[in-house]
Each structure stands twice: as C-alpha cells, then as structure tokens.
Amino acid sequence: MPKYQIAWMPGDGIGKDVMDAARLVLDAMKFDAEYIPCDIGWEFWCNEGNALPDRTVKALQGTTCGLFGAITSKPQDDAKLELAPGLKDKNLVYFSPIVKLRQMFNLHTNMRPCKSYPGNPLNYRGTALANPSGAEIPIDQVVFRENTEGMYGGIEFHPLPESVYTALCANPKMKPWKDKGLENIALSTRIVSIQGCTNICRQAFEFAKKTGRKRVTLVEKPNVLRETGGLMTRIFRKLADEYKADGIWADEANIDAICMWMFKNPQDYSVLVAENMFGDIVSDLCAGLVGGLGFAPSANMGDKYAVFEPTHGSAPKYAGQYKVNPIAMLLTVRMMFDWLGETQQSQQLESAIARVIKEGKVRTYDMGGKASTLDVAKEIAKYAA
C-alpha cells in the first residue's frame, strides 16, 4: 500500500489544469501516494444541489490530506438560477465548498507564504524614489490567516430573523437601522473567539521561532473594531511577551495602513498574522509583490488534517486551455511535502521551481512567455525528479 492517501480535488475551471500539472510532477518525483478522486465544485451544485457531496466528505476522512485546485463560487441568486430544473424548487442554499471544508474539518490555520524567486520578471521593484536602482526587492513573507471564524464565519442574515432584530434593537446605537426597517437590513457578523485568536497567533509565533524569523506583525483594526479587534490584539500582545525571549519582535499594523506600508517597504515584513478577512486581503497584496496569483500557494491546516490549495480561483476564461501558471499549485505541493515531513522532496521541488524561474526559458503568459501549463510542469519535473 502506498505511504500516503491523497484526496484529489481538482474542482472547477483551471483547478483541473493546474492539478494535471501537479500530478505530472508528483509522478516524475515518484511520490509514494495513492490519489483518491473526490467530487467538489460548481458542477455538483448544479446537478445535485450540493457543491460538497457527502461522499466527498466521507472519502476525505479516509485520507492523509487533500490537494485541491480551485472552485467556482457565485452569489446566492445566481447560484439558484443555474440549478438543474428538478432542483430549482427545493429551497437549496449554496455555500462555498472550500469554506465549508475548512469549517467541517476545523482547518483553523491558513498559511500563505509569498516569496520572490530571483529572475521572475513580475517581482516587485518598488517606486523610483524608494528603489532608484530598479533591482528586484527580495520578499519572503508568510501570512497566517485565521480560517474558520471572523468575517467569513458564515453567520449572515437577510432579512434578519425577528429574534436577532429584537435583540440587536435593545442597543440604542441600532436606531438608524431600526428606522430603516427589518426587511431593509442585511447583516454579516464578525465573531471571533479567544480559542481562535490564541491559536492563530501562537501558530505565527511558533513558526517564527522554528524558522528563525525575527518579526511577527499583527494585522487588525482595533481602533474601530473595538471588541473583536481588541480581543485579538490583547491575545497577540500576551503571546508577544512570551516569545520575546526568543528574540522575536512583535508589532501591530492596521489593515489599511499596512496596504500602504507593504507597497513602500515590503522587505521589512516577515510573518503576518490576521483574522480571516484581513488575512485574505493582506495575502493577496503579498502575492502581488511576488508575481501575482500564479505564485501564491496556501495550506489549510487543522490539528490532524490539512487541505492544500493555490490561492487563486477557477479563472473561468482560461479553463481547460492549459494556459495558466502552474507554479502556485506546485508551491502548494511543496507545502504538502513539508506538512508530511518529506523535507528532501520539498527542497528538491523548490530548487527545481527556482531554477526554472531563473532560467526563464519556459514561461506561461503571465511571465511574458508562450509555454503551456504542462510545459512549465514538465520543465520543473525534469529538475525535481
């Protein structure tokens, strides 16, 4: 029996293209695994009314971890319109299967490394005044994003149930909305817990300690989001004290301010930690500094299970064309190797990716080349094998 059972979830659109690239490299590296195909995504919503079928959840439970491409996700009204005729009147509600997976398997920690590889024509070069030489600015950041709570916790209402409305209206600050009327209000909540905040901050500090990084930055907005942002900040500060002895410097930035600082001095940041939505925002910004979504991998990790996915979505306009960059997906495979403790394979794959980027002979369209997704994968496989 192979050493690992990997849940294989290509999903939608370019998810399938980049997962084919991943398989090509995994096979070339003779990775000792069995791949269990799992249904997930838009097609299953349209035909079965469930983007994450029960059989997939069950199959996942028997695997070591999951590898995921991307899914297509649409707002509720559009989703309903695309349901198969027999399902339209069944009051089905669409949910994003990847968000659901994160919650179902308690994959509380989303880790998103953004590293610039020398020679990538898309590497950030800053502004003319800040970086007059125009040389690539070396960037090596890792975002720790809380993955199950906060603004993406999925507690939302429209219209508001009477009970929620009544409870909220006990607060005099609700007057402006009360005047607008129950049926005219939509509500998305930001619920965080001491457990959630403590876990994500600890993961960030532990990672810094393990990898010898010297700075951990909290991305929040506690001056406005006083209760949720305040709780996260207090917990962060407590842990910062604990890790001071390890020589780790902890600082805090507001989400809006860091978007500006990151643009000016990105090389100053190392480990960033944030609640779900702020982590989503800041990690896209970091991805932009190292070449965009074609270079941004991620891991959704729980205590015992993990699902690895590139940060990008299903990019429908490129679906099935094998045009997009597989590097985000291959860096994702590398994260899976790390999680499994396959350090040598991880290093081999990263070196191969770095080499292909540096040589610049085989590049997809986003890097100014004409090569296909699989051409790039084959070139990387050649060096990784």
Q: State the binding partner of 306 from ligand NAI, Mg ion, none, CB within 5 to 8 A by kind.
A: none
Q: State the binding partner of 275 from ligand NAI, Mg ion, none, CB within 5 to 8 A by kind.
A: none
Residue 317, burial from CB neighbour count under 10 angstroms (0-12, 13-18, 19+)? exposed
Q: Is 73 in the site for ligand NAI (CB under 6 A)?
A: yes
For Mg ion, give the closer residue by CB, 63 or 311.
311
Q: How many residues belong to the site for Mg ion (CB under 5 A)?
A: 1
Residue nearest to ligand NAI (CB): 313
CB 250 to ligand NAI: min, Å:
29
Cis preceding-peptide flag for 161 (omega within 30 of 0): no
Q: State the binding partner of 2 from ligand NAI, Mg ion, none, CB within 5 to 8 A by kind.
A: none
Q: State the binding partner of 280 from ligand NAI, Mg ion, none, CB within 5 to 8 A by kind.
A: Mg ion
Only segment of 110-118, 166-174, 280-288, 306-314 that touches ligand NAI (CB under 6 A) = 306-314
Of 312, 334, 363, 378, the one binding ligand NAI by CB under 6 A: 312
- Distance between CA atoms of residues 226 and 90, nearest Å: 41
Tally the C-alpha atoms within 13 A of residue 83's C-alpha that lie toward its C-beta: 20
Only segment of 25-33, 64-72, 151-159, 335-343 that touches ligand NAI (CB under 6 A) = 64-72
The two counts, helices (H) then strands (E), for the chain are 14, 12
For Mg ion, give the closer residue by CB, 138 or 154.
154
Q: Specify whether the CB–CB gap between 8 and 37 falls below 8 A.
A: yes
Q: 3-class DSSP state for residue 58?
A: helix
Residues 94-153 that bind ligand NAI (CB under 6 A): 98
CB 280 to Mg ion: min, Å:
4
Q: Specify whether the CB–CB gap between 192 and 232 falls below 8 A.
A: yes
Residue 37 is encoded by which pair of tokens? 């195909």
Residues in contact with 277: Cβ distance below 8 Å, sequence separation at least 6, in sequence order: 150, 151, 152, 190
Residue 252, burial from CB neighbour count under 10 angstroms (0-12, 13-18, 19+)? middle
For ligand NAI, give the closer residue by CB, 199 or 325.
325
- Distance between CA atoms of residues 112 and 115, nearest Å: 10
What 8-state DSSP symbol labels residue 365?
Answer: G
Q: Is 71 in the site for ligand NAI (CB under 6 A)?
A: yes
For ligand NAI, give the closer residue by CB, 13 or 222.
13
Q: Specify whether the CB–CB gap between 343 and 41 falls below 8 A.
A: no
Q: Write the binding mask 172 to 211 for ligand NAI: x where contact by CB under 6 A, - elsewhere.
A: ----------------------------------------
For residue 90, which amino acid is it? K
Residue 64 φ then ψ, to 5°:
-75, -45
Q: Is 332 in the site for ligand NAI (CB under 6 A)?
A: no
For ligand NAI, give the closer residue by CB, 203 or 311.
311
Q: Is 372 in the site for ligand NAI (CB under 6 A)?
A: no
Q: Is 325 in the site for ligand NAI (CB under 6 A)?
A: yes
Residue 173 φ then ψ, to 5°:
-65, -15
Q: Specify whether the CB–CB gap between 306 and 135 falls below 8 A.
A: no
Q: Which residue carries 């506690």 as its tokens? A: 222
Of 328, 330, 333, 357, the one binding ligand NAI by CB under 6 A: 328
For ligand NAI, give the closer residue by CB, 206 or 284.
284
Only segment of 29-37, 57-65, 203-211, 308-316 that touches ligand NAI (CB under 6 A) = 308-316
- Distance between CA atoms of residues 15 and 310, nearest Å: 9
Q: Which residues bind ligand NAI (CB under 6 A)?
A: 70-73, 98, 293-294, 309, 312-317, 324-325, 328, 366
